[in-house]
Amino acid sequence: MVILITGITSGFGKAMAERLHADGHTVYGTHRKAEDRIPGVTYIRADATVDADVEAAVAQVVEKEGRIDVFINNAGMGIGGPLEFSSLEDARRQMDVNWMGMVRFLHYVVPVMRSQGGGKILCFSSIGGLMGLPFQGLYSASKFAIEGYCEALRLETKAFGIQVVVIEPGDFATGFTAQRKSVADPQAYEVYKTYAKSLASIEHDETTGLKPEYLAGKISKIVACRRPRYNYIISTLEQRLSVTLKKLLPPRWFAAILGSYYKL
């Protein structure tokens, strides 16, 4: 199969590109600044926030291969901190990369899949797209948007043989933690007394989390599956349990549990 993955220079993207290439697929991946390249994978320089880059990336794959069987929207970033102290520019940037980046690619990928009679779309949300995480509100908002968009897209494109799958990872040990932009204003720490402890807890969970190769193995199976599920939570048992509790418990009860976990 011909597979296009966004953001393959590190973390999930790199692990998926390596695994799917090893599985025998033809893999293309977008990047902004690739250094160590995976042999056999075709790299396309493209910024998910630039319309022309996205259009050209999709066109390059179609021109060379004539089709795109699987599209994996992986590129993303995180901005953390108290929402009150998060700038409007940060909010725009978070949505432009995580949500609009996906929308841009799908704007060009969906017509290709429709015309070829089908395809598989995998979009990365997060457990943070299923519950609003404290001091990660902008990130959660961008992932909630992905959930809603994909739910609608799935219904609209089903008649064309297009399958839309949402991936909801928990905490993984990747470069995402070090690259996250967090509010550094001293006043934020002064006003929100629990901010420092919560941030430390978040970073600990991520740096001690699962390895990206584990996720890549799961993605390999989803790509090969003829009838994949609509959603896949890929995380520890504890984090999967938290999603179940959110569905079962009254909102106030779950909020109390989540607040306690994040030391609020």
Q: Where are the domains of the chain?
A: 2-261
Provide long-range contacts, Cβ within 8 A and 24+ apart, for 196-199: 197/263, 198/134, 198/135, 198/262, 198/263, 198/264, 199/80, 199/135
| pLDDT (average), residues 17-36 | 93
- In percent, the amount of the chain with pLDDT more than 70 equals 99
Which superfamily does 2-261 belong to? NAD(P)-binding Rossmann-like Domain (3.40.50.720)
- Can you give the pLDDT at residue 198? 84
- Can you give the pLDDT at residue 36? 83
Q: Where is average pLDDT lowest: 72-86, 146-160, 166-180, 229-243? A: 166-180
Which region, left, alpha or beta, applies to residue 128 given φ > 0 means left and ψ of -120 to 50 means alpha? alpha
Catalytic residue check, 139: yes
| pLDDT (average), residues 198-216 | 86
Compute the mean pLDDT over every residue in the chain, rounded to the nearest whole number: 94
- Can you give the pLDDT at residue 252? 95
Q: Which range has the top average pLDDT, 76-85, 172-181, 215-224, 251-260?
A: 215-224
Quick one: pLDDT band at residue 153, thresholds 50, 70, 90?
Answer: very high
Instruction: State yes or no: pLDDT of 128 exceeds 90.
Output: yes
- Can you give the pLDDT at residue 134? 94
Comparing 82 with 184, which gets the higher pLDDT? Answer: 82
- Can you give the pLDDT at residue 196? 87
| Cα-Cα end-to-end distance for the chain | 47
Active site residue: 139, 149, 192, 232, which one?
A: 139
pTM, entire model: 0.93
| pLDDT (average), residues 224-244 | 94
| pLDDT (average), residues 19-36 | 92
Using DSSP, state whether 253 is helix, strand or coil. Answer: helix
- Can you give the pLDDT at residue 178? 72
